[in-house]
Structure 1
Amino acid sequence: GFCPSTTASDGTVTNLACPQGYGAILGTSAVCAFLEIGLSFLPPKVLKRIFPPIVTGTTVFLIGVSLITAGFESWGGGAGPCMARPETGYFSVCPNVGAAHAAPWGDPQWIGLGFLVFVTIILVEYFGSPFLKNCQVVVGLIVGIIAAAATGYLNTASIDAAPVVTFIWVKTFPLSVYGPAVIPLLIVYLVSMIEAVGDVTASCDVSRVEVDGPEFEKRIQGGVLADGLNSFLSALCTNTPLATFAQNNGIIALTSKFAAVFLATPDAVIGGMTTFLFSNVAVSGMRILAYMKWTRRDRFIVSAALSIGLGVNLVPNWFSYIITYTGNNQAVQGLIDSVEVIVSTGFCISAIITIFLNLILPEDEDEGELAHANPGSTELTEVVHVHEL
């Protein structure tokens, strides 16, 4: 391996600095990013065939559902070790024993901070101007940060210590390609592509532009291409690959003082905001699905995808004990780990199921189409309704 370590007399292993290992991660991810870049040049008809609304809608819905869990965890005080509420230790309270106003996970003060943000979003929707309604989530977050600062929950020491701005390539790493990680990373980029398609579709939906047709197909191609290029450039800038949801983080990272404000903000404030935000993602998925005709075939495909996707979100470790490998082959172990990641990620496994079933199941006639085929029956029904009225 790349990473050195030391072993104490009592057997405790301490991992030392590992710039070569991190450089291998960066180099391998940069090379594997060309898979997603290449797939973005597929003809629009192929992309439309692979990613119709039944696929993107289901994927977007499950992305939102899975993220709501993260929002709720933060709302309770944090998504770290303090969630287990240990009786003693550094994480017996959230975020840790050294923080100001620390409290156990789920404490009323954390719930109250998040609730303040959530209620602010609702009040802005009810009383706010059209402009404020469009940025209600930001307003809620600002109110939460102000309240946290006024009550002593904001850690200003980290803000004061942060530099005003930083730059890329301040520290560099030797790039290399780590063979056993190639296959797992290729799978990760396929997953990232599926997520990018869902995210672009959700953005189109909330922006009130079409989620079908030639223009939409071009946006999908551009989104997938941008996702792959961003991941490639991110590796060259000494950062790990970026998923679609994380693109703005690169800007925040360059303005460290601004980023420090968010890092100092209590997780409960962030959780109250992100819970609402991620729910909007799920609703966008539902709206995309609403555009379908909902034939028997459509209902079957969505049911099959959600049965596994929602089940995985509720029980993430259900597949963890299926494949047991005790060998020393790192490539095989990496492939097994990648499969487990895919199967234990709800939106990913559901996207694969939806794409597969949508490609192999034959089309069937909708009940509405049958009615149009026999217009007399529709007219007769309308006459009966008029007579009853």
Structure 2
Amino acid sequence: MKTNWTYLKWYFTSREGWLGDYDYLYLVTPNVWPLNRKYKGYKAPFYGLNDDVPILLTIILGLQHALCMIGSIVSPPLAIAGGAFYFDSATTQYLVSAAFITTGIATALQVTRVHLMKTPFFIGTGLLSVVGPTFDILPIAFNYTSMRYANGTCPTAEDGTQLPCPDAWGAILGSILCTVWVQIAMSFVPPKTLNKVFPKVVTGSLLLLVGVYLVSNGMENWGGSSNCHDGEGFYALCPDTAAPRPLPWGHPKLIGLGFTVFVSIVLVEQFGAPLMKSASVIIGLFVGCLVSGLTGYWSMSNIQAAPAVTFLWVNTFHLSVDGALILPLLIMFVCEAVSCMPDILATAEISNVDIEGTEFNSRVQGGILCDGIGSFISALGTGPPMVSQAGNNGVISLTGCASRRAGWCAAAFLVLMGVFGKFGAVFGSMPPSVLGGMQVFLYSTIAVAGLRVLSLVRYTRRNRFILTVALGIGFVDIVQPTWFDQMLTYSGNNVALSGFEQGINLIVETPFIIAAVVGVVLNLVLPNDASQMDDMILDQAGHPIMGKDD
């Protein structure tokens, strides 16, 4: 105890404890000649998981990790609120704030790594892993609300305008609370077994399909708003007829607003300082908001009306369970349990810890379990489900800090961002074109992550066949989303049968889910036939290598 007190006294009262010997100028030096000459070839000192990190650096990097997550945190609730359920601005702002709070809680749990007593199991990776809302819920939410508006269980105005449908979000939340247990159970399955059933050829195709599907949604917003594309009545103009400067969908001025975000992100990546590069998305949003505000496309009334402080359950939804959601959500959570494994591996590798063996397997187990518990907590807090992400690995690489202290600090900043209601109101009220410019970039990174995973696959004849079939069916859903509408059209009084039919429709019409089903089934049933072509797979240097199916 005395030793701990002595250390704390030194840490909080000494110059070394506060500043250390870190070169802070490196963090803010732009990549512009001649300013960058000093740091050409410079390598930042590395701080491990439990190393002593100066307090100031901990605060700076904690904020930096929080900032690099903002885009991926706000995008799912904004897409859910505006593109699926047609929520008003107050509800949208609340969902954004709730997402920040639940993300902060889940991230703190992931970084802490809680040992389950008298068992070999953990909750959390114990790495500087971040947890954020999963984008996989978006295709399910879009298809589910489309179905409910079509069958009349979500309200529609006399002129055909689709009205807010909070009960549908309550049904998704209630169904999540019932289905997330499959992911929690899968966390106790050995990672080797999960990799065998869900190889990279499956998980990579899932990420690719999710990214491509969502880019389409992001482009709808970039053009003005997904609501006003071919909209009528209140949504005849974008984002609606009551906006400060409404314009038709795809108007050059709206496209230009989105480009201010996209171009800003590119310029920051090229010329920005290390701190700026890892916050390029939020800087791009700032530029887009500034331009749209100065040119009269942004009304500040929603921000002014937002509460200064908010928290979970300020806005609640009637919870229910819809049978049509059970199968799609079960498949989604099975996919979540597997798709987070490459991200955990990447974070472990860049954090300079073991990436194989018993300890690493326990980190994967703890990460999957934490994601499941995080999704459960988030659903209780009215937020979207959670998944581990590797978007902060760029911050670790640039700054050389993998310390968990920065992770705890980032979690605290995220909770504070959610508590201050005005912060969420900024994102909830920004013009859809600005949001769309950010979303197209962000969603494209998901597709690129899928390509990265697929690049690790050995392209045997068997794997190419699985990819061809799974991606072919998945892309059908993207390019012709209504192709299955006339297949199952039961209209009788059997509620159970109707729910089952709607669930099948959701599975078939959600790209990554149908691709997952097809990919897993083919991977399990297709024989591992050997061929001479498979023996001549080339490595990255162009040399032939021997290999087995992955």
Separation (CA, whole Å) in 1 of partners of 2:318 and 2:244: 39
Give the Cα–Cα distance (whole angstroms) in 1 for the partners of residues 250 and 379 of structure 2.
38
Q: 1:18, 1:153 → 2: CA distance?
A: 28
State how far apart, in whole Å, the 1-side matches of 2:477 and 2:173 are.
30
User: 1:124 & 1:368 partners in 2: Cα distance?
Assistant: 45
* CA shift in 2, pair 1:279/1:227, >3 Å: same
Identity of aligned residues (%): 40
Equivalences for residues 251-266 of structure 1 within 5 A: 254-266=419-431
Contact 2:225 2:433 in 1 (8 A): yes
Q: Which residue of 2 aligns with 1:76?
A: 223
What residue number does 2:385 align with? 242
Maintained 8 Å contact 2:208/2:450: yes
CA displacement, residues 255-312 of structure 1 (integer Å, 9 cap, x when unaligned): 3211110111111111111111111111111111111221111111111111111111
- Residues 1:335 and 2:500 are matched in the alignment: yes
Residue 291 of structure 1 is aligned with which of 456, 479, 486? Answer: 456
C-alpha root-mean-square deviation of aligned residues, in Å? Answer: 3.6
Aligned to 2:241, the other structure's residue is in SS state coil
Shift of 1:71: 0.9
Structure 2 CA distance for partners of 1:327 and 1:115, relative to 1, 3 Å: same
Unaligned stretches of 5+ residues in structure 1: 373-377, 380-389
- Relative to the length of structure 2, the TM-score reads 0.57
CA shift, 1:186, in A, is 4.7
Aligned to 2:339: 198
Deviations 1:5-57 (A, max 9, x none): 9xxxx9x9xx99998x9877655542333233222222222211122211111
Q: Secondary structure at the match of 1:83?
A: coil
Q: Give the superposition deviation at 1:131.
A: 3.7
Q: Indicate whether 1:114 and 2:258 are aligned.
A: yes
Aligned match of 2:60: none
> 1:114: how far off?
0.6
**Cα deviation digits, residues 229-274 of structure 1 (max 9, x gap):** 233223433x16525399x998765432111101111111111111
Tell me the amino acid that sits aligned with residue 166 of structure 1. Answer: T
State how far apart, in whole Å, the 2-side matches of 1:73 and 1:207 are: 36
- Residue 78 of structure 1 contacts residue 267 of structure 1 at CA under 8 Å; is this kept in 2? yes
1:331-369 Cα offsets, whole Å, 9 max, x none, are 221221111111111111111111111112222447587
Does structure 1 residue 347 correspond to structure 2 residue 512?
Answer: yes
Q: Alpha carbons of 1:40 and 1:126: their partners in 2 closer, same or farther (altered >3 Å)?
A: same
AA partner of residue 331 (structure 1): A
1:101 aligns to 2:245 (yes or no): yes
Work out which of the residue numbers 354, 357, 361 in structure 1 matches 2:522: 357
* Cα shift readout 1:153-205 (whole Å, capped 9, x = no counterpart): 22210001000121234466786x65xx3573254132233145335535755
Q: Write the letter of the residue equivalent to 1:342.
A: I
AA aligned opposite 2:331: L
In the alignment, which of 460, 472, 488 is matched to residue 307 of structure 1?
Answer: 472
State whether residues 36 and 225 of structure 1, in contact with CA within 8 Å, keep that contact through their aligned partners in structure 2.
yes
From 112, 117, 123, the counterpart of 2:267: 123
Equivalent residue runs for 1:1-389 within 5 Å: 26-80=173-227, 82-86=228-232, 89-170=233-314, 178=321, 181-182=322-323, 184-195=325-336, 197-198=338-339, 201=342, 213=356, 218=362, 220-237=364-381, 239=382, 241-244=384-387, 254-365=419-530, 370=535
Deviations 1:112-144 (A, max 9, x none): 001111111222222223443333222211211
Q: Distance in 2 between matches of 1:51 and 1:36?
A: 14
Match of 2:23 in 1: none
Matching residue's letter, 1:197: V
Is this contact kept in 1: 2:217–2:226, CA < 8 A? yes
Describe the shift of the 1:27–1:61 C-alpha distance in structure 2 as closer, same or farther (beyond 3 A).
closer
For residues 369 and 416 of structure 2, the distance between their equivalents in structure 1, rounded to whole angstroms, comes to 19
